[in-house]
Amino acid sequence: MSSLALKTFAGLSHRTTAETHRTVSHPKPISTHKRFIVRAGKFSPKVTGRNLRVAVVGGGPAGGAAAETLAKGGIETVLIERKMDNCKPCGGAIPLCMVGEFDLPLDIIDRRVTKMKMISPSNVAVDIGQTLKPHEYIGMVRREVLDAYLRDRAAAAGANVINGLFLKMDVPKSAGPGSDAPYVLHYTGQVSKYTGGAGERRTLEVDAVIGADGANSRVAKSIGAGDYEYAIAFQERIKIPSEKMEYYENLAEMYVGDDVSPDFYGWVFPKSDHVAVGTGTVTHKGDIKKLQFATRHRARDKILGGKIIRVEAHPIPEHPRPRRLSGRVALVGDAAGYVTKCSGEGIYFAAKSGRMCAEAIVEGSENGKRMVEEGDLRKYLEKWDKTYWPTYKVLDVLQKVFYRSNPAREAFVEMCADEYVQKMTFDSYLYKKVVPGNPLDDLKLAVNTIGSLVRANALRREMEKISV
């Protein structure tokens, strides 16, 4: 979940119906001249004898959403996923807007979280969620369930889903305007369950490629997209006694402190019949198991008697790649680096970026009838940055301010008790919309923020005196 959406920077909320339909009237100028409208022409060559062919590499939320959109838009679509039962180590929290936007059935949502506990380094717990309306909740899903559902829906829309391992891609010498030279993808077929060996090596020619193959994206390497800093997420699925599971029925916990992570947080998120306990870090990757032990230790009384049923670890990007587009190849989801600072949220942004990229291809190709160009795919990037860049910048600032020390984290948890902070936090997470806030409440929050940070610095100085 997004941690704290400081209104001092920019608040996030959904628009009301009144705001959506508000118009401004202007007097029409009187003119005797006939007005001409000039529209740019589409000069890309038509695709003859077939529809545009696009490959989506990676079958997570980004790839599944992209493949479905492409197939529905008249594109000849191939989705390549190496591991159909993939269980990425992920808290699995999705915002309410994703349930509606992507028409997710309620039976794939394990839990509807309406309460959260934010727990400070000194174990001060603040209950948040009091501003949620009766119909609002945070969905908790298992990635293997969500990912499979989105892939199946893409297949039902007409996408060809291949269980294979993408190896590399041959980029045409010219992929600029007017070029229809194909991209050649190399992959192996399904891995044999009996021999353990790789499947048959194959090739595939396509007109465009969407790289949705995660933080270690081979598509990104193929286009020289550059590297980025990444975190390691470590998670254990723990099956706890039924009476203890009742405590987590609609409750999630987030732990902050140097012990659980020097630059992130630890979590306990409820799933269908177990809890997911995990943590992440960028700066102390070598200590990840020690940090995970501390998270489990902080929650020990509530998970006592639990049995670890699965252990998972995976890299998570910390910022967008230097290059997210080249020719007729675009990156989405983790491959592009769309994970927010401070909260580590990535599922919604993955699915949303996959859909937006696919929509740009469908529109640019006129439903698969014309060849696309880099300019068509660039429209996706422009729309993405305009819509979501403020969110990433705000959360980046929050992480730098409040995750830098234990005293700062104590101040952060203290601020989470404020009802206005909670409202802005949940509005930002649930609806992903940017609107101006209430000036008086913003001023009050700014004063409270300064007060919390002053107390945090005072506490830090006292702790330094003790340690000397």
pLDDT value of position 418: 87
Judge contact between 225 and 324, C-beta under 8 A.
Answer: yes
Instruction: State how beta strands 307-317 and 230-239 pair.
Output: antiparallel
Cα dist. 204→82, 83, 160, 357 in Å? 15, 19, 12, 21
Residues 347/90, Cβ–Cβ less than 8 Å: yes
Look at residue 399 and give its three-state secondary structure. helix
Measured CA to CA, the distance from residue 127 to residue 416 in angstroms comes to 8
Domains and CATH numbers, the chain: 42-92+141-227+321-401 (3.50.50.60), 230-317 (3.30.9.10), 402-467 (no CATH)
State the pLDDT at residue 457.
53
Query: What's residue 4's pLDDT?
Result: 41
Rounded Cα distance, 118 and 122, in Å? 12
Structure tokens at 357: 């990229």
pLDDT for position 397: 80
Residue 345 — φ and ψ, nearest 5°?
A: -75, 135
Residue pair 49/106 in contact by the 8 Å Cβ criterion? no
Beta strand pairing status for 165-170 and 183-188?
antiparallel
Residues 6+ apart with CB under 8 A from 23: none
Give the H or E element holding residue 307.
strand 307-317
Spatial contact of 185 and 55, defined as CB atoms under 8 Å apart: yes
| Angstrom distances, CA of residue 146 to CA of 79, 80, 100, 211, 310 | 16, 17, 14, 19, 18
Output DSSP code: residue 267. Answer: E
Per DSSP, 149 falls in state H
Burial class (CB in 10 A: 0-12, 13-18, 19+), 436: exposed
Q: How far apart are the first and last CA of the chain?
A: 38
Instruction: Report the predicted TM-score, pTM, of the whole model to 2 decimal places.
Output: 0.84
Mean pLDDT by runs of 10 across the 468 residues of the chain is: 38 37 40 41 80 97 98 98 81 93 96 96 93 94 95 98 95 79 93 58 97 96 92 95 95 97 94 95 94 97 96 90 96 95 88 98 96 96 92 80 87 87 82 58 46 49 48
379: CB partners within 8 A, 6+ apart: 360, 363, 364
- The answer to whether 340 and 395 are in contact (CB under 8 A) is yes
Instruction: Give me the amino acid identity at 346.
Output: G
